[in-house]
Structure formats: structure tokens, C-alpha cells
Amino acid sequence: MWIDLAITMVKIIFILTITVGFFAPVLTWVERKQSAIMQDRIGANRADIMGFTALGLFHIMADGLKMFTKEDFIPEGANRALHTLSPIIALIPAILTFAVVPFGGVYELWGTQVNLVISDLNVGLLFVFAIASLATYGYVVAGWSSNNNWSLLGSMRTASQMISYEVTMGLTIIGVLMVYGSMRLTDIGAAQETGFWGFILQPFGFLMFFAASIAENKRIPFDAPEAESELVAGYFTEYSGLKFGMFFMAEFIEMVTIGAILTILFFGAWHLPFLTTADLLSMFDFLGDSFANLIVMFIHVGVFFGKVTFFIFVQMVIRWTLPRFRYDQIMKLGWKMLLPLSLLNVVGTGLVILALN
């Protein structure tokens, strides 16, 4: 019992360290640096310690200090309680979704079985969608509570956009569930060890899910809820200091979540192509079972987060390549194009399964 509790605590600390402690701050630097490279600029390089800039990485520390020390301004007429609570509502679901996301398989270490997922729910995929959808309330409440017309317009756009694309996201994964026969993310990941990866079995589902995921995260080309040229900054126009930073942190953590879900459902999870867990264990069996399992565990964790990093890179490329869609174009794409295509994908998957059986 105590060993299981200790292992669970280690997994929680590891996930918080990776998402909140590493990816969220580093992505603020990546956002600037990758865009600079794509636009033939130098990028962030002003912050330094004793003349050393470390490729602009010290901007992470400078941004953190600025967020913590900047004045927390609440506009006149705003609802103070909801204005303060909304960034928390937006941030917490982004972190909670990782409770059911496996970042490795099951390993036998010195007589103890270690499953690299915090909570292995049999409805894990449903949990991800249920918790992630709660973040919508944070964005809507932020705009309404700010007592600002532009913020309110941004929150209304957020609500309509996220509700619209959640329907498509839900339908695009139906094909994955039909193929693998489970909503448990560990089962879906394990099934891709010896079988085809998800994007091979569900290529259209993969593309539609990726597009809908970016729309859910309100990143370009789906950033109409923020739209600087139209709404100043949208729902978080009246936010400053740490609250402003929490909204940005939520956006970057959601990028990691998107990469993790895409990796689990469509990109082979923690597995290497053409190399099963048994193959890897056989390479290190001279070290003994426990040490061999330990090395394979590290390899699988590295492979998983390597794939997640790849999808984050792709999201960054899309963000700095495509122009913003108009609001009506976003709605038309969601309801008139992606939704019918996702329904056709479900029907087509069913017919193929029926024919094969």
C-alpha cells in the first residue's frame, strides 16, 4: 500500500514537473525563437546574466519575475471574485487531463509492478474530454466578469467555437474506439505495439482531430476569441500580472495535452516502430530483469515525450504560418465541413470493420 502510494506521488510530481515546470515556461521561449527563425529574425536575446544570454533562455526567468511582481489590476465594475477565479478554472483542467494519460507501459522493477499512468481509468478518453471542456467556463467567465465589451465578445466567441469543435473532436475519436475497442488510453497505446498505428488506420480521423484540437486551444488560425486586431486581446484584455500568466500557461499546457493525446491515439504511444517491448528487453537482458525493465522504461518515456515535442513543433509551425480565419469561416469549417466528414468517417470505419469480420 505504501509503495503504491509512493509510486503514485512520484508520478504526480513527475507530470507536474514536466508540464508546469518544464514545458510551460520553455514554450514561451520556443514561441519567440521559432517564430524568429521562421521570419529571419534573431528573436529573444536581451535578457542576460553577466553578459551571457544562453540563446535567450533567461527571458523565461525575466518573464516569471515580471508576472509575479506586476500589479494585479481589476477594472472598475468587474466582479472581483469571478475575475480572480476564472484563470484558475482555465488552468486546472489543462493539468488534470494528464491524470489518465499514460507516458509509458507496465514494468516489473524489483518485484513491484509500475504502470506509468497516474490513474488508469477504463473511461480515460471520456475523462479527458469531460475535464478539458471545463476550461471553457474559465474563458467565458473571464470575459463576462471583466466588465469590458471586447472581453465579452471574446468570451462569446470562445464559447461558440469550443462547443462547435468539441462535437467534431468527439466524433473523430469514435473511429479510434471502434478500431481498438476500448476507451482506456493504456489499452489503445498497448494495441499499437504490434498492430498498425492509429494514423494509418484512421488517417482522416487524425487530420480532423488535429484541426479540431487547435481550434479548441484557440491558436492561429483559430484565434478569433483573442484577435488582437479586432478585440484588443479578447477575453483576457483586462488581466495583468500572474492571472495573465495563468491564461498563457493554460494555453501552452493544452498544447502539450494535444501532443500527448495525438501520440496515444494515433502515433504509437510510447512505442518505437518495429521494436516491441520484448525486443528491447532482450537487448538488455544481460543486466538482469529489473535493470532491463528500468532502461526500457526510460526509453519509452523518452520516446513518448519526443513524439509530444514533435507535435508541439508542428503546432508552432502552423501558428506562425497560416493567417487567421474569419469568425464565420471558423463556424462554417466546424459545422459544414468537419462535422459531416467526421460522421462519414464513423460510417466508413463501421463498414470496413463489418466487411473484415
Query: How far apart (Å, rounded) are the C-alpha atoms in residues 310 and 312?
Result: 5
Which contacts (CB < 8 Å, 24+ apart) does range 280-285 have? none
* Helices first, then strands: H and E counts in the chain: 15, 2
Residue-level pLDDT at 1? 64
The pLDDT value given to residue 303? 93
User: What is the C-alpha separation between 299 and 285, in angstroms, rounded?
Assistant: 15
pTM for this prediction: 0.89
Q: What is the pLDDT of residue 260?
A: 93
Q: What is the mean pLDDT of each run of 10 residues along the chain (357 residues)?
A: 80 88 84 84 80 78 80 79 86 88 86 85 87 85 83 84 86 89 88 86 91 86 77 77 83 90 91 86 83 90 93 89 85 90 92 89
Residue 129 confidence (pLDDT): 86
Q: Half-sphere exposure (CA, 13 Å, Cβ side) for 8?
A: 10
Take residue 271 and report the three cell numbers written for it.
512505442
How many CA atoms are closer than 13 Å to the CA of 84, on its beta-carbon side?
A: 4
Task: Decide: helix, strand or coil at residue 196.
Answer: coil
Residue from 135, 57, 122, 147 nearest 96 by CA: 135
Instruction: Please give the pLDDT value at position 312.
Output: 92
The Cα 349–Cα 64 span in angstroms is: 47
In degrees rounded to 5, what are phi and psi of residue 290? Answer: -65, -45
Cis preceding linkage at 221, omega within 30:
yes
Can you tell me the distance from the alpha carbon of 158 to that of 253, in angstroms, rounded to the nearest whole number?
18
Cα 247–chain centre separation: 14
Q: In Å, how far from its chain's centre is CA 127?
A: 14
* Whole-number CA gyration radius for the chain: 22
Residue burial 126-154, b: 16+ Cβ < 10 Å; e: rest: ebbeebbbebbebbbbbbbbbbbebbbbb
**What is the distance between the alpha carbons of residues 130 and 122, in angstroms, rounded to a whole number?**
14
Sorted by where each begins, the domain ranges of the chain are 80-356
